[in-house]
């Protein structure tokens, strides 16, 4: 099982990738986590990535691919989360997989209406004391967490709607890209977390 998972922020990509990884044994490859680990390792590649971050520039696709390649090659089952984010990146990933002599089995598109995403993201709060993330409605902080509880600047409604515009312009076209190859699976991300997990597992033929 080699699958990419994508969708707008707030659709639960990371949560589902982690759950599916635990249930199937497939490796969860988060490009965001890889970038942070590479920078922390102080490797030559990590320093190069840090330079881009310090300048406020996007890390080039070829560097992300170079960083991810060993992880894509070391196991027969993985879920790639955070890349690709546009068609150029999808083509770069295809080229890298071809070099490795492996193929992509599926592309999972997590879908939810804007109002649900805005409600989900704008309700997030992070505890200064513990670093844990809660939701004011669905997962309120327990009494033992002293807080205070802060809202991220990019979790305001205005910022969320802007991020959604960027997603629809650049990332959503991946649905057509993967649908043409008959590997696209669209999943309703508004259901409960366990139900979404089961829908994904069923769609990729991993439901036992």
pLDDT of residue 10: 85
Compute mean pLDDT per 10 residues along the chain, 208 residues long, and list them: 92 89 92 87 89 82 89 93 92 94 94 91 88 84 90 83 90 96 94 91 77
CA distance 87 to 94: 10
Count of all residues that appear for the chain in the document: 208
CA distance 45 to 3: 25
Q: Which residues are catalytic?
A: 13, 85, 124, 152, 163
pLDDT of residue 72: 93
Domain ranges in the chain are: 2-203
Question: Looking at domain 2-203, what is its CATH homologous superfamily?
Answer: P-loop containing nucleotide triphosphate hydrolases (3.40.50.300)
pLDDT of residue 159: 85
Nearest to residue 15, comparing CAs of 114, 135, 97, 105?
135
The sign of the dihedral angle between the CA atoms of 139, 167, 205, 102 is: negative
Nearest to residue 121, comparing CAs of 92, 84, 154?
154
pLDDT of residue 207: 64
């Amino acid at each position: 099982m080699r699958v990419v998972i994508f969708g707008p922020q707030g659709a639960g990509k990371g949560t589902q990738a982690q759950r599916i990884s635990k249930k199937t044994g497939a490796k969860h490859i988060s490009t965001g986590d890889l970038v942070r680990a590479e920078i922390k390792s102080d490797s030559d590649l990590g320093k190069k990535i840090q330079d881009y971050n310090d300048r406020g520039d996007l890390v080039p696709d070829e560097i992300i691919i170079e960083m991810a390649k060993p992880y894509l090659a070391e196991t027969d089952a993985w879920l790639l989360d955070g890349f690709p984010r546009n068609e150029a990146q999808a083509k770069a990933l295809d080229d890298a997989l071809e070099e490795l002599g492996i193929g992509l089995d599926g592309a999972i598109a997590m879908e939810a209406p804007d109002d649900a995403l805005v409600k989900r993201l704008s309700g997030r709060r992070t505890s200064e004391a513990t670093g844990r993330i809660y939701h004011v409605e669905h997962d309120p902080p327990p009494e033992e967490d002293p807080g205070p509880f802060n809202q991220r600047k990019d979790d305001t409604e205005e910022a969320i709607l802007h991020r959604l515009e960027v997603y629809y312009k650049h990332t959503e076209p991946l649905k057509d890209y993967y649908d043409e190859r008959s590997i696209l699976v669209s999943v309703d991300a508004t259901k409960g977390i366990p139900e979404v997990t089961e829908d994904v597992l069923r769609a990729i033929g991993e439901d036992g």
